[in-house]
């Protein structure tokens, strides 16, 4: 298998994709191009030839003092020297992250996460950020934890997602 990363564009001829989640399938097949056109999110496809293995969408985010408990904010601030204590810190959010059913449970999710992190750290340099965030579905939390993400607010209990973050300074490539 030869994986390649393709940024979704308005003229990309969409191939079939099924990750088993109608919301994630629907976003890729019906909404991702409009999100890109309106400069809301960029979507990247992981392909093997013409086959879409998976995809992820990225958009700008932040971690701010108003959105977390005081205890969590103290932990975030400890990552920075005192002179760099601000009211918020820049982040990139993983808006969508999906793998086709036939590529699950074979390490493809980890490979896609490495590709995503590498692209953000090495290839995109017009802007910078410290954190990678995601609103993880409850069933996806173990995947993100295995990939170094932490719960932003361990007290968060409402809804069917949990906000998680990854400190990009952890990467050594």
Lowest mean pLDDT among 64-68, 112-116, 119-123, 147-151: 119-123
Query: What residues are paired with 5 via a beta bridge?
Result: 46
What is the phi/psi pair of residue 69, to 5°?
-70, 165
Question: Could you tell me the fold of the domain covering 3-170?
Answer: Aminopeptidase (3.40.630)
Mean pLDDT of the chain: 92
Mean pLDDT of 138-161: 91
Q: Which pair of structure tokens corresponds to residue 83?
A: 């002179």
Assign 95 a pLDDT band (cuts: 50, 70, 90).
very high
Domain-by-domain residue ranges, the chain? 3-170
Q: Which residue has the tokens 């979507």?
A: 43
Assign 172 a pLDDT band (cuts: 50, 70, 90).
confident
20 secondary structure, DSSP code: S
**Taking Cα atoms as reference points, which of 60, 47, 36, 42 lies closest to residue 5?**
47
Provide the whole-model pTM. Answer: 0.90
């Amino acid at each position: 298998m030869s994986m390649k990363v393709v940024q979704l564009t308005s003229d990309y001829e969409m191939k079939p994709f099924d990750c088993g989640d109608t919301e994630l399938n629907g976003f890729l097949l019906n909404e991702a191009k409009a999100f890109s056109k309106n400069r809301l999110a960029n979507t990247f496809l992981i392909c093997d030839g013409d086959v879409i293995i998976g995809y992820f969408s990225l958009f700008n985010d932040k971690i701010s003092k108003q959105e977390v408990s005081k205890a969590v904010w103290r932990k975030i601030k400890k990552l920075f020297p005192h002179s760099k204590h601000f009211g918020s810190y820049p982040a990139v959010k993983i808006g969508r992250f999906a793998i086709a059913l036939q590529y699950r449970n074979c390490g493809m999710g980890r490979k896609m996460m490495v590709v995503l992190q590498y692209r953000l750290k090495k290839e995109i340099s017009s802007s910078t950020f410290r954190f990678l965030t995601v609103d993880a579905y409850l069933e996806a939390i173990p995947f993100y934890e295995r990939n170094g993400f932490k719960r932003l607010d361990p007290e968060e209990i409402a809804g069917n997602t949990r906000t998680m973050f990854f400190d990009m300074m952890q990467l050594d490539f």
